[in-house]
Structure 1
């Protein structure tokens, strides 16, 4: 077993609302990672840069699901200093190669040596983000073995909801559970990190039991569950509805 697959299972957060309070609580409660969802949410590089700044030195890894695979977009988010870029709608290893070129400094890539938080404002050009493939398309599913063999592949995430939709669009009768397991087995079996969303914090272990080492809890969904529980408690025998 490789060092990567032997790594302790991780539970992190994914959010489109990285408030100062939430970021401050991460280190306090021992959450080791957060993925900021900037895909179709309106969040931009400024919010990601602020999260990186607030969490610098805390030990909390900051990732971002970027809006697109365009080189300028990847470069802009890489310059915030985030630790990981989650690449959406990836279909081929050629797209992974292009993302690598856009986020690596010469001679490996084509990234300009800009003065930015990632370069410690022009003093150190060493920090580059991990590139994680988001497996949410049929093409990525079918190409998973090619991805895991590729020398630039660094791990991935699974997007079950979008994968379901893409399977339906392609008229595929493969169940999403079978597709998800196929991805986990291929990626983890090759010694790479692989993660997926958990239905709730209480069920994060369900993700790990499938062989994935990273479980992501949607912060907004978890807050909604907590508030619903509080509301239902208030409607009980001793609450307003029971009076």
Structure 2
């Protein structure tokens, strides 16, 4: 099977994987910063297709990540872990049973190739296998080994000037499924505000290059309105805000929206 472009596939139990599902429709989700399985469940019950525990920035360790993956599984949402970067974190994140991984700050074809080696089993990559949750603690290694290369979603973030310069090479690497644009870091790296001409042109270049190469494209966006606009441009992975931003915006609206003077105790 060629990994140059995604193909719809059902696993042997008749369940569509996240990797195949994202080819057919835009999936909506968010980043999770709060390390609680309850938060994961609430996000799933609220309709999130994808929940992304942010192990790059939040205070998550592997046991917490496994609990968040388990909570997503219970409520029918796919948990895709954003790892801190290249390295052993990739394979260990997938060992939790996560539906996929997101790798930040991918800046070259060599980075993308290293991601594929760490996340795909031979002959596509060089990932090792062991008795972790993904393999039912070693009780069903053959099934996981057979399905993983086809089912697991591998996402590379392009969010720096170096990544932008190398985007043609990055999207050409077999085994990378989704190119995820990080607009805030991209703006920071470019030294241009979000929404500026330079920034907007950079986002368009990443989007167009990835789609032309047969990759799916995603982006982190502030609200549903901007997510809808990106969906209409062909993006299929739309991550809106964070659990913290949802909590904060709701709290501000409700707590400060009470009529009358409530500024003093």
Whether TM exceeds 0.5 here: the answer is: yes
1:179 to 199, 202, 205: 202
Distance in 2 between residues matched to 1:110 and 1:174, nearest whole Å: 41
Per-residue CA distance 1:8-66 (angstroms, 9 max, x = gap)? 22221111114232222244333211111000322122121112222226431111110
> Structure 1 residues 27, 174: closer, same or farther in 2, change over 3 A?
closer
Partner of 1:101: 117
Cα 1:142/1:78, change in 2 over 3 Å: same
* Other-structure match for 2:262: 240
* Consecutive unaligned residues in structure 1, runs of 5 or more: none
TM normalised by structure 2 equals 0.78
TM-score by length of 1: 0.85
Mark the CA change 1:190 to 1:166 in structure 2 (over 3 Å): closer, same or farther: same
Q: What is the SS of the residue equivalent to 2:256?
A: helix
Deviates more, 1:116-125 or 1:204-213: 204-213
- How far 1:107 sits from its partner (Å)? 4.1
The 1:95/1:57 distance shift into structure 2, 3 A limit, reads: same
Match of 1:24 in 2: 41
Q: Given the alignment of the two structures, is residue 63 of structure 1 paired with residue 41 of structure 2, yes or no?
A: no
2:130 to 90, 103, 114: 114
Q: Which residue of 1 aligns with 2:188?
A: 165
Report the CA distance between 1:178 and its aligned residue: 1.3
Q: Give SS of 2:257's match.
A: helix
Kindly indicate whether the alpha-carbon contact (under 8 Å) linking 1:185 and 1:211 is maintained by their aligned counterparts in 2: no
Q: 1:150 to 1:196 in 2, by over 3 A?
A: same
For residues 85-164 of structure 1, the aligned pairs below 5 Å read 85-122=101-138, 123-124=140-141, 125-126=144-145, 127=148, 129-164=152-187
Alpha-carbon contact 2:23-2:216 (below 8 Å) kept: no
Pick aligned residue for 1:229 from 246, 250, 253: 253
**SS where residue 50 of structure 1 aligns?**
helix
Structure 2 Cα separation of the partners of residues 21 and 75 of structure 1? 25
Partner residue in 2 for 1:11: 28
Determine if contact 1:200/1:222 at 8 Å carries over to the other structure.
no
Contact 1:198–1:206, Cα closer than 8 Å, also in 2: no
Check 1:151–1:108 CA distance in 2 against 1; reply closer, same or farther (3 A cut): closer
* 1:157/1:194 contact within 8 Å kept: yes
Q: Does 1:37 align with 2:54?
A: yes
Aligned residues: 234
